[in-house]
Amino acid sequence: MYGWKVITRTLLSMTFRKRAGAKNSPSALVGFIVLAAILSACIAVALGFLGAAVRDYDLTTEIAALLLAADFMLTLVFGTVAVFSYMYFSRDNEFLMSLPVRPGTVFAAKLTVIYVEEAAVGAVLAFPGAIVLGIATAQGAAFYIMTLIAVALVPLCALLLGALIAVPLTFIAGFFRNRGAVASVLLLVLFAAFMTVYIVVVNLGGRAPASGGAEDIGAAVETLRAAVRRSMYVIYPIYCLACFGTNGGGFAEAPALSAAINLIVFLGTVAALSAALVPLALLMYRRAVMRQSENPPRSRNKAGRYERSGVLRALVKKETRMLIRNSSFAFQCLAGVVLSPAMCVVMMIMGNGEGVEEAGISGLMFVVMWAIAAMMALMMTGALNFTALTAVTREGVTFAYSKLIPVPYTVQLDAKRVVSVLPPLVSGAVSVAGMAVSGAVALKTVDVAAIISTLVMLAAGVLCFTEFYLRRDLKKPRLDWVTPRDAVKSNPATVIPTLLGILAAFGAGGVILGLGLGLYFAGLGGWGLTIASAALAAVFVLLFFIVRGRTTADADRLYAALSV
């Protein structure tokens, strides 16, 4: 126990330490806290406004379940990434394993640190909203007990499940030489498959009627209730916890007995996950740490000369390997790229609701869903381009080599541009192709002009976001990180640019949707989509050339100002 306390305290101190020489760290941390508080306040205010309707239509259990499910899903996704990067592929494993403590102690301490971080994020996002929801819907004491249990145990449940998911992936990756790269691919594929299946389950059936009226409102409420319950079957213990707090029924007719059984189901799930995690994950942790070092690839340059003609290609290979060989970097930087096509296809399919064809509004739904899908593609390929936003940061202390090698800084920047731009461009093209095919099948509409203009808009947007993010990271990179979480998720310097990028993507989506609907109702069909996308493409191209010119001109000065 004493060793666990010492290691945990040390790791927490490392996580929240003040970086030497980083004069702007306090302001960045304050900004991160303020942004998190604003997001939490927005969730609480939204639930407060919805409270009366939720109470009147008896949807408290469903809304509480969705709030807990959001906390669970976020922790599951990012907690699994943290387990990979912070436990199995962390640089400090060799140092920690040399201390006079057992591997199980190090494992437990690292898991505790991940839990503290994930639980803090979940508490900030979910706790105020849950309290406001309870007050607005006049809930009893059980609801607030549920809230406290959820803040403590929902992240733990998700983290335990994520740690168990990491065990087979790490075991499979252990058979390959480049285990980090293989683990990255497996994690991305698993995440994409899980999210796709989950979205399909959520959207199966349950479509609301197309006409209005009080009866239809009641039917829509029942449809919503059924859809939420159907989606909760994937994470049923979380739904049981929500039923416990809201007296939502379940296993018995007596309310007290039903609430007790629901609570036992949830707590039993946490206990079962804990019992399964300890032996399996500890065994895998020992195995992974012992075989952590990867064999370096053999050099194919037999002559041993540094050829000028192959400099850019060599640097691109270096950037690519640096990205994919670390599961945390690969997941954080490429998750949006992997998910964008699937999300866009699902969005277009969702437009084919009940009564759409009968009402003759397929064209209208095509305009609406195309605009939303285009906005989503721009956000996931451009605004969430962490490959560019951490282009310099990912090098860490090895950035010193970038300043010493006889290669112009502009060439090094070009290599980072190539690696940051190619995956989003390919994903954007696949996303638009998926939107076109699914729109033709589901909504019986094909708009060639919209397809071409959206392709151009996405390409220009990706280039623009890449230049802004690359310049931002070049000006203020974080090079003293110990684990990849320090570089990406625990780096406050990435928060504000990402939020601004998301707001810009939402603004672009608003322009496309507004102009698309305006010209559609004016009798011009889908030309609004084409005109809006073309106009946005022109703006993105202009900004791209301006920022690229400034970054290229300032490359020598910005590189010279950096030190490790």
Q: Answer whether residue 318 shows pLDDT above 50.
A: yes
Model pLDDT for residues 118-149, shown as the tens digit of each residue: 888 778 878 888 898 889 888 888 889 999 99
The pLDDT score that the predictor gives to residue 291 is 56
Helix boundaries (H) for 248-361: 255-290, 311-324, 327-350, 356-359
As a whole number, mean pLDDT of residues 168-182 equals: 69
As a whole number, mean pLDDT of residues 159-163 equals: 84
Higher pLDDT, 177 or 56: 56
As a whole number, mean pLDDT of residues 22-51 equals: 66
Query: With bands split at pLDDT 50, 70 and 90, how would you rate the model's confidence at 298?
Result: very low
Question: String of b and e for 263-297 (b: at least 16 CB within 10 Å)?
Answer: bebbbebbeebeeebeeebbebbbebbeebeeeee
As a whole number, mean pLDDT of residues 284-302 equals: 52
Closest to 517 measured CA to CA, from 381, 395, 369, 379: 369
As a whole number, mean pLDDT of residues 98-113 equals: 77
The pLDDT score that the predictor gives to residue 222 is 72
Of the spans 45-59, 79-93, 167-181, which averages the highest pLDDT? 45-59
Structure tokens at 242: 């929500």
Cβ atoms of 290 and 445 closer than 8 Å:
no
Least confident of 23-37, 251-265, 357-371, 415-429: 23-37
Query: With bands split at pLDDT 50, 70 and 90, how would you rate the model's confidence at 47?
Result: confident
Q: What is the 3-state secondary structure (H, E, C) of 102-153?
A: CHHHHHHHHHHHHHHHHHHHHHHHHHHHHHHHHHHCCCCHHHHHHHHHHHHH
Q: Answer whether residue 480 shows pLDDT above 60.
A: yes
As a whole number, mean pLDDT of residues 138-164 equals: 88
The pLDDT score that the predictor gives to residue 433 is 93
Least confident of 184-198, 310-324, 334-348, 406-420: 184-198
Q: Answer whether residue 209 shows pLDDT above 80.
A: no
Closest to 103 measured CA to CA, from 4, 172, 2: 4
Of the spans 109-118, 143-152, 392-401, 459-468, which averages the highest pLDDT? 459-468
The pLDDT score that the predictor gives to residue 419 is 92
Q: What is the mean pLDDT of the chain?
A: 78
The pLDDT score that the predictor gives to residue 322 is 79
Query: With bands split at pLDDT 50, 70 and 90, how would you rate the model's confidence at 396?
Result: confident
The pLDDT score that the predictor gives to residue 20 is 43
Higher pLDDT, 312 or 183: 312
Q: Answer whether residue 88 shows pLDDT above 50.
A: yes
Least confident of 324-338, 379-393, 417-431, 501-515: 324-338
From CA 189, how far away is CA 501, in angstroms rounded? 25
From CA 283, how far away is CA 350, in angstroms rounded? 44
The pLDDT score that the predictor gives to residue 564 is 61
Least confident of 240-244, 299-303, 427-431, 526-530: 299-303
Share of the chain above pLDDT 70, in %: 74
Least confident of 160-169, 306-315, 459-468, 512-521: 306-315
The pLDDT score that the predictor gives to residue 335 is 80
From CA 420, how far away is CA 278, in angstroms rounded? 39
Dihedral sign for Cα atoms in the order 210, 213, 217, 218: negative
Q: Answer whether residue 504 shows pLDDT above 60.
A: yes
Least confident of 146-160, 206-220, 453-467: 206-220
The pLDDT score that the predictor gives to residue 216 is 53
Query: With bands split at pLDDT 50, 70 and 90, how would you rate the model's confidence at 288?
Result: low
Query: With bands split at pLDDT 50, 70 and 90, how would you rate the model's confidence at 375?
Result: very high
Query: With bands split at pLDDT 50, 70 and 90, how would you rate the model's confidence at 25?
Result: very low
Share of the chain above pLDDT 90, in %: 16
Dihedral sign for Cα atoms in the order 172, 178, 179, 183: negative
Q: Answer whether residue 159 shows pLDDT above 70.
A: yes
Least confident of 318-322, 328-332, 473-477, 525-529: 328-332
The pLDDT score that the predictor gives to residue 505 is 92
Query: With bands split at pLDDT 50, 70 and 90, how would you rate the model's confidence at 208?
Result: very low
Q: Where are the domains of the chain?
A: 1-14+40-293, 311-564
